[in-house]
């Protein structure tokens, strides 16, 4: 089920987390799409000043501490990934 969501200011988009899948809802077009990230996501938030999503990765590589991904929703690519101490 839907666990978390954020909206992009002035973009008419909602970005949602369903279990570990990232979904984008274009509210203007009425289109829902799954976004491939290459990793499983446990939390999602947004940095409105930069218009980036911040996502916490889950998986074997991040058992001791999360890996945070700064994701550009326009290019659909990571800007940077940071391993937390």
pLDDT of residue 62: 46
pLDDT in tens, 29-83: 999 999 999 999 999 999 999 999 999 997 665 456 689 999 999 999 999 999 8
CA distance 83 to 85: 7
Contact by Cβ (8 Å): 42, 27: no
Nearest Cα to Cα of residue 44 among 76, 19, 9, 12: 19
Secondary structure class of 60 (helix, strand, coil) = helix
Q: What whole-number distance in Å separates Cα of residue 33 and Cα of residue 60? A: 26
In this prediction, residue 60 carries a pLDDT of 60
Against a cut of 0.95, is the pTM above it?
no
67-72, strands of its sheet edge to edge: 40-47, 52-58, 67-72, 77-83
9-20 tens-digit pLDDT? 889 999 999 987
């Amino acid at each position: 089920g839907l666990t978390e969501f954020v909206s992009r200011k002035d973009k008419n988009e909602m970005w949602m987390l369903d279990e570990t899948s990232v979904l984008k809802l274009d509210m203007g077009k009425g289109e829902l799409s799954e976004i491939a990230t290459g990793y499983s996501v446990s939390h999602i938030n947004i940095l409105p000043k930069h218009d980036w999503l911040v996502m916490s990765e889950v998986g074997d590589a991040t058992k001791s501490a999360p890996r945070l991904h700064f994701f550009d929703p326009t290019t659909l690519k990571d800007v940077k990934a940071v391993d937390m101490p």
